[in-house]
Chains A and B, each alone.
Chain A
């Protein structure tokens, strides 16, 4: 739930939402769309400005790639809800994407840590 000031919150880097969703499902197990969105916001300390509608576009994208599966279940409140779970293919993809992200992040970090000239 976004409650903080919008000016202090970061936009999600393009292409990283899918990775966040996969990691969330990997960590939390099967979740509904609202739960995933809230979890990402909570983990970021409400620092990520998540347009919640985009979560469903991401879920559809991942579902089409068979990286996550869907099923209908019942929420804690007894309400019918659609649950998403990461698949084996999704796990492999997550590992690959994580490695790629860490490599990119390390490169960026090294670049940013270069001492300023003079």
Chain B
């Protein structure tokens, strides 16, 4: 064993000292010859003969040296070194083609690094809580599914991974905070005790909520407290909220926020153990917990459906980035496959080195090893370049990458050290993909058809990626078109407590009438939730007894909403002031509801109420998630709602807050001025996640098409070179371009068709697991890629045919 080790180290060192060994051997050889020649001379031979005999007896210098070299060498290492040298030589000799096929690989690696880093930073919330990454939102049985009041006990399973658990109502409620001239609408969140302890934030003054607190107890935000009190805090201060007296037990510190996911919450009240919806399936509760020390987030995720505590915007963005990361992996695989195909095409076209090796009897294993080494150099270089560029822009990704996507930069996020999780699999598997295709191409005994199939297999992963891009771009376009149909420019919104403006029964008439009298105002209405805002209320309905219940977006509105927003009424009429409690319950529906449930004359609403359908409006929303969702509009006069948002369309002149104050005040019940937000801003915020996703997927999809077109055209060129003379003759004899390309297309037919079919299946699988991919988009992507294959073959065929006509005719 020890002896074997000595031999190995000796051979290893001899690789380093090869030149020196050669010189020493030559010296020793000459010495031996001289000594032997002297002996022969002493025996009577003349000097030249003596030297000749001495050399003959010792053996030829080169063969002896070769024998010693073989004994000295480590064959595997030497072969590898030779292959490395050859690989580097090939790279430098074919710089242009190597760069052309390496560029997509580098770009994919860069995309992966940037997107993964941005996702990493996004996943480390900058929420103002200690150890915020230990906090989690807990869902009912899968992410996104909320609890009802009767189901909340499921939140505490045996062996919980959490130190403590609490819950809250994800739908904030509007409260009229204060009384008289200083009253203002405020978002309040209903939370169970211990929420603040779980968040780990002590109060600025007083205390947080406790289990024994009565319902009319409240904790305020610092800003709200300061807006209404300039003095020092006193325990037990009574304050009018919603016309009732609440006890303020504490004030949270400045900058504290706990307001998922709607609006800015400024007060927190105890959640009642039972509410109006107890025992129903009305699910509005989410859990929140802090993980026990030593419990990993991913371990906890295996026990319960949990997610990191993120703001609603970050959550949507994180999903977009996750999908983009999947797409970047797909692009990387496509790039590697294409590089393999191009590499094979290049070798087969112009590089005689492989042909020489085969002619000299190199085994398939030997060829495969050489190609694997060359591919490793290739991928390693691409990975190194990608990593270097990413590092060079490290200052950028550290804090600003996700701000590009509309999120706050994460200065508190730990450094991203997961680059090796990308680079290592790339370095290990990338060469296998490239070399696999090149080796299969060279060593295939099944002829060109199989080789052609191997070279178009990159089509398969391309289809889900391109289909996802088409789906998202189509959805964005449709949403933008729909949003544009809403005509939200020159529309201003302001949230008010309806009861503070007038008697609820006459709110619509009195409020809208007074605002309409203001200069520049064209039309006015009000809704419970502004369209496109990103949240909504759902209500169940069915067309007839026995039919299944369906969910619909439920909007309470004053007459004139469709006029303000430019939504076209395609059938029936708008609400009137006469549609009140004294008359029949009425609703207006959208086209999606008609498509889903037919043109019903009446609907049965959850709760048993039967409402007459008096009209239908065109599907008009700038929210993708409700684009195909049935919508039901009810008149405010039949369905009272606390907080309404006024929608004011002007003639282009700005709608000022002062104008609103004067109108709403009316000298009767003044209240604090509500913020005025342009409808366009709300629409833009709503569109942002889809826009980001579409841009990312669209960019990656476009790159995929370019890479595929290049590689398939390169491969087609190879096939045509093999038959260029035949193509030239056929073209010279008057055959059309398609006739010329037909035999080549036939070679791709079987395997190309198989790759397209596999791609469609992948798209179907990815649709359920990764991103929404519509069947129409899959068909479109398949057709697009098939068209690219045809074009990438026909165009080079045409060029080859034209260039070969003269040569073919001369030969014939």
Q: Which residues of A contact B (CB under 8 A)?
A: 1-3, 32-35, 37-38, 51-53, 56-57, 60-61, 63-66, 75, 79-82
Contact = CB atoms under 8 A, between A and B. Distances in A.
B31 A64 contact: no
Contacts of B36: 1, 34, 52
Contacts of B43: 1, 3
Nearest to A1: B39
A81 B6 contact: no
Interface of B: 3, 6-7, 10-11, 24-25, 27-28, 31-32, 34-36, 39-40, 43, 57-59, 64, 67-68, 71-72
Contacts of B64: 53, 56
B7 A82 contact: no
A81 B72 contact: no
Contacts of B34: 79
12 contacts: A2-B57, A34-B32, A52-B57, A52-B59, A63-B10, A64-B7, A64-B10, A65-B7, A79-B31, A80-B31, A81-B28, A81-B31
Contacts of A60: 68, 71-72
Contacts of A75: 31, 35
Contacts of B71: 57, 60-61, 64
Given A56-B64, A60-B72, A81-B31, A51 B59 contact: yes
A66 B39 CA distance: 31
Contacts of B39: 1, 38
A61 B492 CA distance: 93
Contact of B35 (A34, A51, A61, A66): A34
Nearest to A52: B58
B584 to A, nearest CB: 105
A8 B446 CA distance: 60
Contacts of B40: 1
A75 B3 CA distance: 31
Given A32-B31, A80-B27, A53 B11 contact: no
Given A56-B28, A61-B71, A79-B34, 16 more contacts: A1-B43, A2-B57, A32-B32, A38-B39, A52-B36, A52-B57, A53-B67, A56-B25, A57-B67, A57-B68, A60-B68, A60-B71, A64-B6, A64-B10, A65-B6, A81-B31
B6 A82 contact: no
Most chain A CB within 10 A, of B11, B24, B31, B64, is at B31
Given A1-B36, A3-B43, A57-B68, A66 B6 contact: yes
A106 B39 CA distance: 38
B24 A82 contact: yes
A33 B68 contact: no
A34 B72 CA distance: 21
B304 to A, nearest CB: 64
User: Is chain B's interface secondary structure helix, strand, loop, or mixed overall?
Assistant: helix
Nearest to A61: B71
Contacts of A61: 71
B28 A64 contact: no
Contacts of A64: 6-7, 10-11, 71-72
Contact of B27 (A1, A34, A57, A82): A82
Contacts of B68: 56-57, 60
Nearest to B60: A53
A65 B10 CA distance: 8
Most chain B CB within 10 A, of A52, A53, A61, is at A53
B449 to A, nearest CB: 52
B27 A53 contact: no
Contacts of A52: 32, 36, 57-59
B114 to A, nearest CB: 52
Nearest to B27: A80
Most chain B CB within 10 A, of A35, A37, A64, A82, is at A64
A37 B11 CA distance: 24
A81 B30 CA distance: 10
A75 to B, nearest CB: 7
Contacts of A37: 32
Nearest to A76: B35
A89 to B, nearest CB: 9
A3 B57 CA distance: 11
Nearest to B31: A81
A92 B60 CA distance: 34
Nearest to B33: A34
B6 A53 contact: no
Top 6 A-B pairs, shortest CB-CB distance: A53-B59, A64-B10, A34-B35, A34-B32, A64-B7, A1-B39
Contacts of B25: 56
A98 B64 CA distance: 29
A10 to B, nearest CB: 17
Nearest to B30: A79
B31 A34 contact: yes
A103 B111 CA distance: 73
A66 to B, nearest CB: 5
A66 B71 CA distance: 15
A64 B74 CA distance: 13
Contact of A82 (B3, B10, B28, B57): B28
A82 B28 CA distance: 6
Contacts of B11: 64
A95 B25 CA distance: 30
Contacts of A81: 28, 31
Nearest to B32: A34
Contacts of A66: 6, 10
A33 B7 contact: no
Given A32-B31, A56-B28, A60-B72, A65 B3 contact: yes
A24 B36 CA distance: 19
A82 B35 CA distance: 13
Nearest to B3: A65
Nearest to B28: A82
Contacts of A35: 35
A33 B34 CA distance: 12
B50 to A, nearest CB: 11
Nearest to A51: B59
Most chain A CB within 10 A, of B27, B28, B59, B67, is at B28
Nearest to A80: B27
Contacts of B72: 60, 64
A20 B40 CA distance: 24
